[in-house]
Amino acid sequence: MRALTKKNLLILLSILLTFGVVEALITVGIINSFYEITIATICINIILAVSLNLVTGFTGQFSLGHAGFMSIGAYVCAIINMHMNSTVGFLVGTLAGAFMAMMVGILVGIPTLRLRGDYLAIATLGMAEIIRVLFLNMEITNGAAGLNGIPRYTNWIWLFTFTAGTIILINNFIKSSHGRACISIREDEIAAESMGINTTKYKVMAFAIGGFFAGIAGALYSSYFYFVKPDLFGFLKSIDILVIVVLGGMGSITGSVIAAVALALISTFLQSFTAVRMIVYAALLVVIMIFRPQGLMGTKEITDLFKFKSGKKEEKIQ
Amino acid sequence: MDQFLQQMVNGISLGSIYALIALGYTMVYGIIKLINFAHCDVYMIGAYIGFAATTYANLGFFPALIISMASCAVLGIVIEKVAYKPLRNSSRIAVLITAIGVSLLLEYVMMFFVGAEVRSYPKVLSDAAFNFGSVRINMQQIYIVAIAIALMILLQFIVHKTKTGKAMRAVSIDQDAAQLMGIKVDKTISFTFAIGSAFAGAAGVLVGIYYNSIDPLMGFMPGLKAFVAAVFGGIGSIPGAMIGGLTIGVMETMVSGYGNSMYRDAAVFAFLIIILIVKPAGLLGKNTREKV
């Protein structure tokens, strides 16, 4: 397989174009600091949603504890960053947070992923609550008051790098044989198992990767918004992420990205009415499930819209 | 020893409230295999209806309890008809997400109308206390336990001795076969929601009186704990929900009494994860085998 296919070049071009346009808008001043916060939220939410989509959308394991992983990344990065006040410290903190979240994902995943459907949802919810209570009671995390004055190293460049990196890595994972194994678990776990797929291994793998990227998102969050406290990562945060995934379509990375952007814009406009924002979110969730349960994009990706040479050849062979 | 007995008394009165909520979860799960997340908000709304009835209408305790139970039963039916019925044939995850959506919708619509502030319940029951040795039991605790037991006996009667109860049991075992036997499945499901929600309404009023404060987000934690209770007792089993509720209530007061009260929520969830790993079917639940 060649690395420099027409498709890959186009993807690279569109990544650079997106980065260039937003960077230019920031430099010119059309995007002021108020909207920069929206952009940071969008990027963090994209990372969270894409990683949850891997667990819930592609592997079919319903998780309500994604905010728990995010909080681990946020706290680990914040603590390391406060002791190592430099860009290197930020990067070390981000990676350490992500690895920590991944380790917890594996530890929690091995026992709980034997459960199915609703039981798994409640178990992951319980896990996130346990993590929150631990942070609430630990000395190093400063309890309910949280950590203040975390140095800010997250900027647009880092946000974009991590977001694009997450999307590309998770997309590649899904296109690999591991990813196809995960999708087969979603489609039918028993059939997948009888075809010789080690379902536990792939479920834990998806859970660990999801936890890793949620940890990165948490680290970016703590470093961008200066402070973290346990209440930020409660059940509602997990629901926020879930709404993005469901709205975009479970099993579509493009959908998650579009939904993250759309919902961030909606909540920016509804910022002064918090209660209304939550009503809109909740109503959206119910209405989507009743009228369009597959979400905006279903399982389609934006790349499906373009026909590439290799795609045509495959069709002929079939 | 005295402290232990005192915690036991507190735990049993808290546990009876959990058991009342857990009954609603377990009945709905038994009949349509759905964790009804909105159930804990029905309980919250029940508490508010009781509050309105006692504060603004100056009603006594029992009329308030009955009004709250009746309104919650109607609310339960409406939720089922509007949100869950269109999804009868969709995937279970879709219904679960809808349930979460309905739950948030009720919470925030309520917050929009009544405000987020905490309200305090009027004193409708005397708080006279009796001392047995050094163990103190107050009137409210006696009322809570007595009402919970009375409602549970009523439920046992409905489920085991009436025709509707028979229909409920039949639908929970096999929906299609029940339909073929001429049972009106939709009506039975609505009835189940009505009973479960009425119990939640009763629990709401009792909690309002016991803790003397209510707010729009009060349902979330007790709801989850009641769900843990239902899982522990074996989801789908009515006696299991009662045992589970009492166990969780006693466990919670023991953790706050002897350990650190900050860890009581974490203890309940750790307990849940342990149950799910060791005995996922629960104490009295039946092991179901998955068919291909």
Measured between CB atoms, which of B98, B104, B277 is closest to A289?
B98
Interface probe, candidates A122, A244, A284, chain B, greatest B C-beta count within 10 A? A122
Burial of B291 from C-beta contacts in 10 A (0-12 / 13-18 / 19+): exposed
Q: Which residue has the tokens 């998770």?
A: A170
Per-residue model confidence (pLDDT) at position B287: 64
Q: Report if residue A296 sits inside a domain.
A: no
Mean per-residue pLDDT, A16-38:
82
Q: In which element (H, E) is residue A141 found?
A: none
DSSP H or E run through A8: helix A6-28
Secondary structure class of B266 (helix, strand, coil): helix
Residue A72 maps to a domain: yes
Beta-carbon separation of B109 and A279 below 8 A: yes
Average pLDDT over residues A167-191: 92
Min CA distance, A307 vs chain B (Å)?
A: 32
User: How many CB pairs lie under 8 A apart between chains A and B?
Assistant: 116
Chain A contact probe: residue of B39, B109, B269 with most A CBs at under 10 A? B269
Burial B48-64 (b: 16+ CB within 10 A, else e): bbbbbbbeeeebebeeb
A39 inside domain: yes
Cβ atoms within 10 Å, residue B93: 19
The token duo for B160 is 């085991």
B94 CA: distance to closest CA in chain A (Å)? 6
Residue pair B6/B135 in contact (Cβ under 8 Å)? The answer is: yes
CA distance B74 to B62: 19
Q: Note whether residue A15 is domain-resident.
A: no
Residue B126 CB: number of other CB atoms within 10 A? 10
Domain presence at residue A145? yes
Give the per-residue pLDDT at B291: 55
Q: Which residues of A touch B270 (CB under 8 A)?
A: 126, 130
In a domain, A285, yes or no: no
Can you state the angle between helices B185-211 and B2-32, rounded to 10 degrees? 160
Residues 6+ apart with CB under 8 A from B235: B25, B26, B29, B30, B282, B285
Q: Which pLDDT score is estimated for A272?
A: 76
Substitution target from B37, B95, B97 for chain A, most A beta carbons within 10 A: B97
pLDDT in tens, B184-225: 999 999 999 999 999 999 999 998 888 888 888 888 888 888
Residue A60's SS3 state is coil
Instruction: Give the number of domains in chain A.
Output: 1
Helix axes A156-175, A6-28, angle to 10 degrees: 160
User: Which residue in the set A111, A133, A275 is minimally distant from B265, CB to CB?
Assistant: A133
Lowest mean pLDDT, pick from A52-61, A255-264, A308-317, B124-133: A308-317
Q: Which residue of A has its CA nearest to B235?
A: A119
> ipTM for the complex?
0.81
How near does any CA of chain B get to the CA of A171, in Å?
A: 23
Distance between CA B187 and CA B57 in Å, rounded? 33
Residue A309 pLDDT exceeds 80: no
Print the domain residue range for A102: 33-234
Model pLDDT, residue A203? 92
Q: Which residues from A are below 8 Å from B when comparing CB atoms?
A: 62, 111-112, 114-115, 117-119, 121-123, 125-127, 129-130, 133-134, 136-137, 190, 235, 239, 242, 246, 275-276, 278-279, 281-286, 289-290, 293
Q: Cβ contacts (< 8 Å) between A270 and chain B: which residues?
A: none
* CB spacing of A279 vs B105 below 8 angstroms: yes
- C-alpha Rg value of chain B to the nearest Å: 19
Q: At which residue do the structure tokens 């934006």 appear?
A: A302
The model carries a pTM of 0.86
Least confident span in A86-100, A149-163, B274-288: B274-288
pLDDT number for residue A317: 39
Residue B22, token pair as written in the block:
């857990």
What does the block give as tokens for B265?
A: 């929520």
Write the residue in A122, A190, A275 that is nearest to B227 by C-beta.
Answer: A122
Rounded to an integer, what distance in angstroms lies between the CA atom of residue B194 and that of residue B247? 26
Residues A289, B269: C-beta atoms closer than 8 Å: no
> How far does B222 lie from chain A, in Å, by closest CA?
13
On the question of pLDDT at A54 being above 90, the answer is: yes
Beta bridge partners of B138: B129
Task: Quick: pLDDT tens for A293-305.
Answer: 888 887 788 777 6
The CA distance from A166 to A173, in Å, is 10
